[in-house]
Amino acid sequence: MNTNWGPSTDVQDPALGTTIMAVAFDGGVVMGADSRTSTGTYVWNRVSDKITSVGDKIFVCRSGSAADTQAVVDVIRLYLQMHSLEIGKQPEVPTAANLLNQVCYSNKDNLMAGMICAGWDERNGGKVFSVPLGGGVFPHPFVIGGSGSGYIYGYVDSNFREGMSKAECQQFVKNAVSLAMWRDGSSGGVIRMVTITKDGVEKEMVSGQNLPHLAKGWCP
């Protein structure tokens, strides 16, 4: 969206340029994202948290317009909480993904939000759903999204295997996001990771020297 007023012409709405992804494994999910929020060429927040909770064990990765995705996630959180009270138990991941779709699809003309909804619930275990720009709900073993994802399709397609362990998934996510941050100008900062299992939620931040530097073979 280009509100083209004022002296500088490249001022835009804060956008999550972004690399986001989520991977399901037996017993939970691993979600990862970069931390760059930019307005045009200016990095507005270099340590943003793009993985937002909508329930105790359900999180959403946000990409697109920062304002739009925050508004959408706030609505989902509200409806999911009320729903959880009504049914008397923890909400399920497909339900959250469905609610996300209802909002994104009905308001598709006014929103720019590409989301990945993932989490753990008792009936389904670890589940990952993608709710892209126009709406729709698509379950996958893993999903990548955001502008940086284009640079890593090769990597994820050749390296993903079914039946990876939690640790392997975490390494897979770290590698993928760091490769995207390496090439995509709109992605950068630190890697934020959230691992959700029936035992709880682990949050991790990988920054600076700890970032896997897979290009080190040819580039210092």
Partner 1 sequence: ENSGTAVGIKCTDGIVVAVGKSQASKMLVAGSNRRVFGVDAHTGIAVTGYAADGRQVVNRAREEAQSYKDTYGHEIVPSVLNNRLSLFMHYFTMYGSLRPFGASAIIASYDQDLKMPELYMIDPSGSGYRFHACAAGKGSNAANTELEKLLNRCGDEGITTKDAVKELGRILHIIRDTSKEKPLELEMGWLCAESGFKHALVPKALVAEADEAGKAALAGATIAAAGGGGNGGGATTTTSTAAAEEKSAMEVEE
Query: Which active-site residues does the annotation give?
Result: 18
Task: Verify binding: residue 198, partner 1, rule CB under 8 A.
Answer: no
Q: For residues 2 and 177, what is the distance between their CA atoms, to the nearest angstrom?
A: 28
Instruction: Single out the residue of 95, 130, 175, 197 in contact with partner 1 (rule: CB under 8 A).
Output: 95
Rounded to 5 degrees, φ, ψ at 147 are -65, -30
Return all residues near 50 (Cβ < 8 A) that are at least 6 apart.
16, 18, 20, 33, 34, 35, 61, 62, 63, 192
Q: Are 138 and 9 in contact (CB under 8 A)?
A: no
Q: Which is nearer to partner 1, 74 or 122 (CB)?
A: 122
For the record, the structure tokens of 135 come out as 């709406």
Task: Verify binding: residue 94, partner 1, rule CB under 8 A.
Answer: yes
Rounding to the nearest 10 degrees, give the CA dihedral for residues 33, 62, 127, 145. -70
Task: Verify binding: residue 86, partner 1, rule CB under 8 A.
Answer: yes
Q: Which is nearer to partner 1, 86 or 157 (CB)?
A: 86
Q: Which is nearer to partner 1, 137 or 169 (CB)?
A: 137
Task: Verify binding: residue 131, partner 1, rule CB under 8 A.
Answer: no
Question: Any bridge partners for residue 197, and if so which?
Answer: 28, 200
Task: Verify binding: residue 54, partner 1, rule CB under 8 A.
Answer: no
Rounded to 5 degrees, φ, ψ at 161 are -130, 145
Size of the site for partner 1 (CB under 8 A): 15
**Least separation in angstroms between CB 20 and partner 1:** 22
**Least separation in angstroms between CB 76 and partner 1:** 12
Contacts of partner 1 in 105-124 (CB under 8 A): 122-123
Instruction: Single out the residue of 90, 102, 107, 171 in contact with partner 1 (rule: CB under 8 A).
Output: 102
Q: For residues 85 and 77, what is the distance between their CA atoms, to the nearest angstrom?
A: 12
Q: For residues 215 and 81, what is the distance between their CA atoms, to the nearest angstrom?
A: 44
Task: Verify binding: residue 87, partner 1, rule CB under 8 A.
Answer: yes
Task: Verify binding: residue 140, partner 1, rule CB under 8 A.
Answer: no
Q: Which of these, 160, 195, 166, 205, lies nearest to 49 by C-alpha position? A: 205
- Count of beta carbons in the 10 Å neighbourhood of residue 42: 12
Number of alpha carbons in the 13 Å side-chain half-sphere of residue 152? 30
**Least separation in angstroms between CB 118 and partner 1:** 15
Contacting range for partner 1; rule: CB under 8 A; set: 10-18, 83-91, 112-120, 140-148 = 83-91
Task: Verify binding: residue 72, partner 1, rule CB under 8 A.
Answer: no
Residues at the site binding partner 1, with contacts judged by CB under 8 A: 83, 86-88, 92, 94-95, 97-99, 101-102, 122-123, 137
